[in-house]
Amino acid sequence: MIKITKPVAAGLVLGSALAISPSAADAHNSNDTEGGWHYRTDDLCVYGGNQFNHDVQTVEVGSYKAYSYFGAYKASCQSGYTRPAGSLAAKAEWRKSGSLCAYSDWVYSSSSGQGMQVVFRNQKCGEGVVAMKGFHYVNHSGWYGGAINGPSHDNSQK
Amino acid sequence: MMMNKVRAGLILSTVAVCAAFATATVASAALGGTPEPLLPPALPDDGTTEDSPPALGPDGTPIGADVDEITVYIVTPDGESIPFQAPVDRSIVSTADGRQIELVEVTSTPEMNEASAGEDAP
């Protein structure tokens, strides 16, 4: 299990309650959010996060790189890294009692940017305890990223 | 004779200095080189769907980019995957730290919700 450990630069807030950010995560049960770094180099950092909040499930992929001070000191993964359209990809899977019950196709970014959030509305897999798995990738002369399991949520409890 | 010994000593000293410099250079490169990338978190190999995005198309654009709907599959208890076309609404938002984020909202259709809840699929 990977808990949210975003650095300051990754503490993005979309001005939306759907945003997977430390401030948003604090407003919910900690079990509702999972996230972490898939990849960290000076040239590219890939962040992935999942959020499961009742009828809304969100998968987020973020593209970062090191921030350079005076061309020398580099703060790892502290700067957003703009990638062209089609260079961010994400998808989601849902499981109930360990069995795959729903999944999405890959969703790609349609414009240049430094991140993408894919929001799925309404329940998947009916009532009961449902776990989600998010896939988060950034293209940088090849796909970099990975998948994160969780969180799980009891859809029967409102 | 004396000059030969001095000359041999000078050569040996030069070789020793060069060897020490080369060793220090290699050690420095090993310690201060580019950091190794972290590996993605280990996950159980449940391998139900693809683990990474499809390869790029001929024009360099990923297959399926810039579409206004995506396919969401509902898996029945007997393992059959039923595809549903879900409309996609895209917008660009700015984060508090000035980053540009694409927000993609996938809307479920009534048929998808019925199938997802375990009712008969259309």
Q: What is the pLDDT of residues B48-91, one digit of tens each?
A: 455 677 766 555 666 666 678 888 999 988 888 999 999 999 99
To probe the interface with A, which of B89, B92, B102 has the most A CB atoms within 10 Å? B102
Nearest chain B residue to A18 by CA: give it.
B103
Contact A108 B118 (CB under 8 A): no
Taking CA atoms, B53 is separated from A84, B4, B60, B77, in Å, by 16, 70, 13, 27
Nearest chain B residue to A36 by CA: give it.
B41
pTM score, two decimals?
A: 0.70
Closest CB from A102, A111, A112 relative to B74: A102
Buried b (16+ CB within 10 A) or exposed e, A98-127: eebbbbbbbbbbbeebbbbbbbbbbbbbbe
What's the rounded Cα separation, in Å, for the pair B9 and A44? 52
Nearest chain A residue to B76 by CA: give it.
A101
Interface check for A134 against chain B (CB to CB < 8 A): the answer is no
Name residue, tokens 């329940």: A123
Q: How many of the other CB atoms lie within 10 Å of CB of A137?
A: 28
CB A51 within 8 A of CB A33: yes
ipTM above 0.90, yes or no: no
Shortest Cα–Cα distance, A21 to chain B (Å): 10
Using one digit for the tens of pLDDT, what is the confidence trace for B4-61? 766 766 666 666 655 555 554 444 444 444 444 444 444 334 434 556 777 665 556 6
